[in-house]
Amino acid sequence: MFDGEEISTIPVVDLPPAPRKGLVVVTCMDSRLDVFRMLDLEIGDAHILRNAGGRVTEDTLRSLVLSMHLMHTRSVFVIHHTSCGLHRLTNEALHSRVRAATGQDATHLDFLPFDDLAISVSEDVERVRSLPLLPEGISVTGAVYDVHTGTLHRVA
């Protein structure tokens, strides 16, 4: 796919580096999630932070601090989704899969699996809200995206 051929891209020279909507979205890396369409966003509207499960990890927090202090974002939207690969798994099961596939010990990794979508969103929202390195007065919201219906359900 990327074997030295020129790849067609969309020029973004005229866009500022700071997101126009002051928004940071934290969500899963799942390829079924079209964050721009889901939230009616355009290129340049928001920072999109993606990882397995859409969890608020140490690296997510690092990115949020930089986004807010360097690019003046002020809203965070944490979105988890139905039919996520980490839903109802355990670290033990994931460690076993890695060992079976590679022979290597991955017990030092916390894959951050979860049993309840609403609880995992609430935990991640609270993790953002409780970080003292972020500016006062930011907005932090959480939701679950239903991949079957295309709807977002807000989580308190």
- Domain range list for the chain: 23-87+114-155
Whether the CB-CB separation of 78 and 144 falls below 8 Å is answered with no
In the 3-class helix/strand/coil scheme, how is the chain assigned residue by residue? CCCCCCCCCCCCCCCCCCCCCCEEEEEECCCCCCHHHHCCCCCCCEEEEEEHHHCCCHHHHHHHHHHHHHCCCCEEEEEEECCCCCECCCHHHHHHHHHHHHCCCCCCCCCCCECCHHHHHHHHHHHHHCCCCCCCCCEEEEEEEECCCCEEEEEC
Low-confidence ranges of the chain (pLDDT < 50): none
pTM: 0.92
For domain 23-87+114-155, say whether CATH 3.40.1050.10 is its number: yes
Q: What confidence score (pLDDT) does residue 95 get? A: 98
Mean of the per-residue pLDDT values of the chain? 95
Q: What confidence score (pLDDT) does residue 10 get? A: 72
Q: What confidence score (pLDDT) does residue 1 get? A: 57
Q: What confidence score (pLDDT) does residue 58 get? A: 98
Q: What confidence score (pLDDT) does residue 7 get? A: 73
